[in-house]
Amino acid sequence: MDIFFQKLKTIALDSSLRNRILFVIGALVIFRFVGNIPIPGVDEARLASFLAGSQFFGLLNIFSGGGLSNLSILMLGVGPYITASIIMQLLTMIFPKLKEMYQEDGQLGRRKFAQYSRLLSLPLAALQAFGLLFLLRQQGIIVEAGLFAHALDIIVVSAGAIFLMWLGELMTEYGIGNGISILIFAGIVASAPTQLSQLYFSFTPADAPLYLGFIAVALVIVAGVVIITEAERPIPVTYAKRVRGMKVYGGGSTYLPLRVNQAGVMPIIFALSILLFPQMVVSFLSGIDNATIASIAGTLSAILQNQWVYGSFYFVLVFLFTYFYTAVTFDPDQISTNLQKSGAFIPGVRPGPSTSDYLGKILLRLTLVGALFLAVIAVLPLILQAFTGVQALAIGGTSLLIVVSVVIDFVKQLDAQLSMREY
């Protein structure tokens, strides 16, 4: 407890750190304020019934920070930017220059890479805004007001997505933690009171075992996320001794920490972004005035709405994206080269390709554990919802996973800032 109060005192006395935290709080206030500005011509009753009957749009509503529940100008959330980031990271596997820019060109290369992601976000935001607004107009949720009004809504919603991307980047630069993740966290937390109130008012004594079971599962998920996030495999590293004149340099030993879950929460976000896109396309095609296209779209929609099909795709995507993101962010060849240049080696392993192969094999086994954990946690709420029929439980697991991961990352970065100021 004394350490906690000491940290609070350090934050209060250090103007730079205090300003960073206040900036994050101020940005979140702006995010919630702008997120309550709706686009005109919304039928609120139809919107509420439409969202209540669709798990797909329920998830989309969470990642838009609740902006979809009232069709605010931020209804797309950070979805376009996340989709653009996924596309850019996929392109690193195709174009070596992009991979070199992202992994080897340092901070300048990462800034260029991020700039390309931002530029790609604009056309993606316009495309997603067009598809979503067209679908909502088909459902009668938005009152039809002509071509000009539709074009204006697309511009406003696209601008809202770009504004949110800009706000997240500012939070990353001038605040603490990853701004985009914090915005998603804020959207999930903002929707929590509504979900809890629904569970409270629908509670009956017969539901007590179900609710207690859900609380137990939530505690297990929190404990599992913390354990997997903090777990790491230390690889011993020894620095060779160098003799210069009458002095001996180096010769120390340390270790290289390989995390069980190198990717963090990003595979969950990537998988949801990929899953949301085909469902939006199918919903758009189902409203086209063509019997054949509408029939095909209806069949595909029924397949995608099937819990087992949806859960299987979700599991596989989370599993694959965990390996993909780990491969993008951690390159054994580069680590091996850096160790060799600094005169370091892993005891019992030859420098160069042998070290790279050794690290790759260990990382492959570690990532298997992390990928299976993330995939199981992602689909566990869907399994619970299939057995219980409670819609709120279907969203809880993924939301809890993201919330816990973001909180852990934020606390770590805050501790790093405090440690830096102590030294």
Residue 82: its pLDDT value, please? Answer: 82
Predicted confidence band of residue 64 (pLDDT cuts 50, 70, 90): low
Question: Is the dihedral angle over the CA atoms 216, 220, 221, 223 positive or is it negative?
Answer: positive
Select, from the ranges 90-94, 167-171, 193-197, 392-396, the one with the highest average predicted confidence (pLDDT).
167-171
Contact 318, 374 (CB under 8 A): yes
Q: d(Cα 208, Cα 217) in Å, to the nearest integer?
A: 14
Q: According to CATH, where is 1.10.3370.10 located in the chain?
A: 1-201, 205-401
Residue 413: its pLDDT value, please? Answer: 82
Residue 241: its pLDDT value, please? Answer: 67
The amino acid at residue 380 is L
Predicted confidence band of residue 250 (pLDDT cuts 50, 70, 90): low
- What region, left, alpha or beta, does residue 347 occupy, with left being phi > 0 and alpha being psi -120 to 50 degrees? beta
Predicted confidence band of residue 142 (pLDDT cuts 50, 70, 90): confident
Residues 6+ apart with CB under 8 A from 215: none
Nearest to 118 by CA among 166, 154, 175, 160: 166
More confident residue, 416 or 20: 20
Mean pLDDT value across residues 373-399: 69
197-211, 256-270, 386-400: the lowest-pLDDT one: 386-400
- Does domain 1-201 match CATH 1.10.3370.10? yes
Neighbours of 375 (CB within 10 A): 22
- Judged against a pLDDT cut of 80, whether residue 29 lies above it is answered with yes
Residue linked to tokens 């629904």: 198
Residue 232: its pLDDT value, please? Answer: 83
Residue 3: its pLDDT value, please? Answer: 67
- Judged against a pLDDT cut of 80, whether residue 200 lies above it is answered with no
Q: d(Cα 375, Cα 379) in Å, to the nearest integer?
A: 6
Residue 53: its pLDDT value, please? Answer: 58
- Judged against a pLDDT cut of 70, whether residue 57 lies above it is answered with no
More confident residue, 164 or 5: 164
Residue 321: its pLDDT value, please? Answer: 86
Q: What angle do CA 204, 205, 211 make, to 5 degrees?
A: 80
Nearest to 130 by CA among 157, 162, 148: 157
Contact 264, 328 (CB under 8 A): no
DSSP 8-state code for residue 142: B
Predicted confidence band of residue 52 (pLDDT cuts 50, 70, 90): low
Residue 394: its pLDDT value, please? Answer: 54
- DSSP lists the bridge partners of residue 244 as 247
- Judged against a pLDDT cut of 80, whether residue 118 lies above it is answered with yes
Half-sphere exposure of 164 (CA within 13 A, CB side): 36
Predicted confidence band of residue 55 (pLDDT cuts 50, 70, 90): low
81-95, 159-173, 223-237, 245-259: the lowest-pLDDT one: 245-259
Q: d(Cα 423, Cα 156) in Å, to the nearest integer?
A: 47
Q: What angle do CA 19, 20, 23 make, to 5 degrees?
A: 80
Residue 242: its pLDDT value, please? Answer: 64
Q: Which tokens go with 135? A: 């679908």
- Give phi and psi for 252, each to the nearest 5: -80, 170
Predicted confidence band of residue 345 (pLDDT cuts 50, 70, 90): confident
DSSP 8-state code for residue 288: S
Mean pLDDT value across residues 266-280: 74
- Give phi and psi for 254, each to the nearest 5: -150, -165
Residue 114: its pLDDT value, please? Answer: 82
Mean pLDDT value across residues 369-380: 83
Neighbours of 79 (CB within 10 A): 27
DSSP 8-state code for residue 238: E
What integer best gives the mean pLDDT of the chain? 77
Residue linked to tokens 């002509």: 146
Residue 391: its pLDDT value, please? Answer: 58
DSSP 8-state code for residue 93: T
What would the DSSP string read from start to end of 345-395? E-TTS-TTHHHHHHHHHHHHHHHHHHHHHHHHHHHHHHHHHHHH--HHHHH
Question: What pLDDT digit, counting tens, does each position of 289-337 carry?
Answer: 677 777 777 777 777 767 777 778 888 888 888 888 887 777 788 888 8
* Start-to-end CA span in the chain (Å): 22
Residue 260: its pLDDT value, please? Answer: 83
DSSP 8-state code for residue 207: G
More confident residue, 140 or 394: 140
Q: d(Cα 21, Cα 414) in Å, to the nearest integer?
A: 9
Predicted confidence band of residue 357 (pLDDT cuts 50, 70, 90): confident
Q: d(Cα 240, Cα 361) in Å, to the nearest integer?
A: 24
- Judged against a pLDDT cut of 60, whether residue 177 lies above it is answered with yes
115-129, 309-323, 377-391: the lowest-pLDDT one: 377-391
CA distances from 50 to 139, 397, 412 (A): 8, 23, 40
- Judged against a pLDDT cut of 70, whether residue 70 lies above it is answered with yes
- Judged against a pLDDT cut of 60, whether residue 102 lies above it is answered with yes
122-126, 199-203, 223-227: the lowest-pLDDT one: 199-203
- Does domain 205-401 match CATH 3.30.300.130? no
Residue 218: its pLDDT value, please? Answer: 75
